[in-house]
Amino acid sequence: MSISEKIGKSALTILKYFSLVFFSFVALLPVVSCVITAFKTDEEYQNTNVMVLPHSWLNFDNFVNAFNKAGMGRAFINSTVILICVLLFSTLIGTQLAYVLNRFTFPGNKLIRNMFLFASMLPGVAMQIPVYEIMYKLGFINLLPGYIIVMCGTDVIAIYIYIQFFENIDVSLDESAIVDGASYFTIFYRILLPLLKPAIVTSCILKGVGTYNEYYMANMYLQDKTRLATVATSLYTFVGPLGSKYNLICAGVIISLLPALIVFITCQKQIYSGLTSGAVKG
Amino acid sequence: MNASAKATVKRNKRTFGEWLKSRDGQKVLVMLAFLIIPLVLLMVFTYIPFAEMVKFSFYNMKYVGARKFVGWKNYIKVFSRKDCFGALKLSLYYMGGSVIQLSLALYLATILSFKVKGGDLFKGFMFFPFLINGIAIGFIFKFFYTRGFVFDTVLQWCGFQLDNLPYWLKDRSINNISLVGTSVWRYFGQNMVLFIGAIMSVDNELYEAAMLDGANKFQQFKYIIMPSIKTIFVLNVILSISGSLSAFEPPYVITDGANGTGTYFVVMHEIAHTQQKVGLASAMAVVLLLIIFVVTILQKLFFKYVFKDGTE
């Protein structure tokens, strides 16, 4: 290798790492500055620059205050209930739908697939105008089960993940079970569902993060914020009179994103693979 | 003929119980059981509302109370009111942002798909913003852009004077760019992960063969990486244009549409839920949906023409 080639190569390496470090910095800076501010006392917050590190990293006062002021205890309970119900219910109907669409040929199969695909193209914000009216008529406003049901209804990516997975499970497995006299229900629940576990884990993580972070519909359909706030909507407490106490707000923000961070650290691989498999097909 | 048909009906009736137990009957039963809930949900929360929305757009109405049929008046208003259709101009900013976002994601994905020290860590850092909830992002960036706070401090480290810096969220010449920045920040890591996934799906032997043949990094990019991510890249371009037209979240959570940052959907949301002019807002939604469909079809045709098999 000639000297000029070597120089070119190391220049490329430097550029490569410089880009990675720079954009990681860009990605982290807004969050890290929030963490720094969340540990500052009121006095520190007013008298020091935002990027100056706090005196003590053990000052959890803001976190405790934010947690209490925003009623986050209640909010975490609500979010947990919503999360469990939505995941259970949408996994069940999603896998069942994918099973029928993948294993049975019938007139309308393609039509149903296209109907779900088309539904995913409608922008959610626009659709909430008429959906609000329907929720109102059904008496679903300020009703936790109502919100849970509307959250289960529109999940195309999960269905695609399941269909793709079914395509890789050999049909001869079903056929031999049929020969043994198993019903379709048995085949689905006893044989296929257990095999589907990796796909279920993947799509549950994606759906879980999405549900936990959802705020637009939660804000609209769970208006009673003292009783029915979710973690995301509980942050609305900080709009208004508390709006400039950023040490408190930042603490609230950090609390709200901790669960997502924990899930991310433990399930990175599934999140990446889920996104990729959902996107290629969708 | 008639008699035999009657006989068939009779036989069917007699054996309905048996038919249920037969394979065909079981099939229909399981299909009904498994399809009914998803389809009902799809109807109730997507297709019925969709039809309602089209109907609303011809009425002068609130959520509750009397409705008056007004024909095309709402549609005329959408195009004549200054705050409605004019707001679509802002989507140009978001389109510019998505060009930057996609190129950046492609660049970083290319770097990360070769051997890099700490690659997973970098990938994680850049992806994480995607997992933060919208309201939190709103607060993070109100804080970030406040006069003399995070962004200004970092720029001062780089030698800028505070007096020369604009108010990032108030100054009308820059505030939309600031908002688009937050959206690029949030999604470039996610795009990057998608691209890495597509690049990784290429057989490794292809790279080895290319290396043996003496192909350099740029040639590898052009002849191996680009073709392998073409589908997903095209898909993301299509998504980003419709996404730009329906841009909503950054102004909704950060500026509430103040100081000329109200995108089309923010204006629509305001008209629908604050002013309660449901008919007008529905007309706005229908107009934008039509635009998105036309644009999507045009894009698909365009890419089909350019790439031959460009889409799927």
Q: What is the CATH number of the domain that holds A274?
A: 1.10.3720.10
Residue type, B49: P
Confidence of residue B154 (pLDDT cuts 50, 70, 90): very high
| pLDDT digit string, tens, across residues B54-76 | 999 999 988 888 888 998 999 99
* Chain B residues touching A26 at Cβ < 8 A: 185
* Domain assignment present for A29: yes
Residue A175 lies in a domain: yes
> Is the confidence at residue B12, as pLDDT, over 70?
no
| A54 belongs to a structural domain | no
B109 chain-A contacts, CB cut-off 8 A: none
- In total, how many domains does chain A have? 2
- Of A201 and B19, the one with more pLDDT: A201
What does each C-alpha distance from A122 to A202, A221, B158, B265, B289 come to in angstroms? 24, 19, 44, 13, 7
The DSSP H or E segment spanning B59 is strand B59-60
Question: Are A36 and A86 within one domain?
Answer: no
Give the pLDDT of residue A282: 39
Residue A243 lies in a domain: yes
A8 and A131 belong to one structural domain: no
B135: nearest CB among A27, A136, A235: A235
Range of the domain at A213: 71-281
In this predicted model, what pLDDT tens digit does every residue of B275-310 receive, in sequence order? Answer: 999 999 999 999 999 998 898 888 878 877 776 554
Let me know if residue A76 belongs to a domain. yes
Look-up of token digits 């994601």: B105
All residues at 6 or more sequence positions from B92 whose CB lies less than 8 Å from its CB, including other chains: B244
> Is there a contact between A215 and B134 if contact means CB atoms under 8 Å apart?
yes
Residue B244 C-beta-side C-alpha neighbours within 13 Å: 24
Amino acid at B68: K
- Same structural domain, A109 and A24: no
Cβ pairs A/B, distance under 8 A: 247
What would the pLDDT profile of B159-173 be if each residue is shown by its tens digit? 999 888 999 998 888
- Closest partner residue to B153 (CB to CB) among A49, A94, A209 is A49
Is residue A27 in a domain?
A: yes
Is there a single domain that holds both residue A164 and residue A246? Answer: yes
**Residue of chain B nearest A213, judged by CA positions:** B133
Please answer whether residues B174 and B168 qualify as being in contact, where contact means their C-beta atoms are separated by less than 8 angstroms: yes
CB contacts, 8 Å: A27 with chain B: 125-126, 128-129, 185, 189
Q: What pLDDT sits at residue A60?
A: 92
Nearest to A171 by CA among A154, A156, A191: A191
Q: pLDDT tens, position by position, for chain A (282 residues)?
A: 678 888 888 888 899 999 999 999 999 999 999 999 999 999 998 888 888 899 889 989 999 999 999 999 999 999 999 999 999 999 999 999 999 999 998 889 999 998 988 888 888 888 888 999 899 999 999 999 999 999 987 577 788 888 888 888 888 888 888 888 888 889 999 999 999 998 898 888 889 999 999 999 999 999 998 899 999 999 988 887 777 889 999 999 999 999 999 999 998 888 888 888 766 543
From chain A, pick out residues whose CB is under 8 angstroms from the CB of B35.
Answer: 96-97, 100, 112
Spell A150-179 as b/e; 16+ CB within 10 A means b.
Answer: bbbbbbbbbbbbbbbbbeebeeeebeebee
* A229 in the same domain as A124: yes
- Same domain for A110 and A32: no
User: Which of A20, A162, A281 to substitute to test the interface with B, most B CBs within 10 Å?
Assistant: A20
> In terms of domains, do A222 and A90 share one?
yes
Are B75 and B159 spatial neighbours (Cβ–Cβ below 8 Å)? no
Are both A86 and A192 inside the same structural domain?
Answer: yes
Q: Which of B42, B190, B232 sits opposite A116 (nearest CB)?
A: B42
Same domain as A164, residue A121: yes
pLDDT at B307: 64
Decide if pLDDT at B42 tops 60.
yes
ipTM exceeding cut-off 0.95 for this assembly: no
Does A104 share its domain with A160? Answer: yes
Measured between beta carbons, which residues in chain A are less than 8 angstroms from residue B126? 23-24, 27
Q: In this structure, is residue A66 part of a structural domain? A: no
A220 shares contact with chain B (CB less than 8 Å): yes
State which of A31, A47, A63 marks the end of a domain.
A47
Alpha-carbon distance values, A45 to A42, A280, B161, B189 (Å): 5, 46, 22, 31
Is A181 found in the same domain as A42? no
- In this prediction, residue A278 carries a pLDDT of 65
CB contact under 8 A, A132 and B52: no
3-state secondary structure of A103: helix
C-alpha–C-alpha distance, residues A138 and A22, integer Å: 51
Average pLDDT over residues B122-134: 94
Residue A80 lies in a domain: yes
CB A242 within 8 A of CB A248: yes
In chain B, what residues touch A152 (CB-CB under 8 Å)? 41
pLDDT tens readout for residues B200-244: 877 777 777 887 887 777 787 888 888 878 878 887 887 888 888
CB atoms within 10 A of CB B108: 25
Distance from A79 to chain B by nearest Cα, in Å? 13
Cα–Cα dist A66/A70, whole Å: 6
Residues A163 and A36 in one domain: no
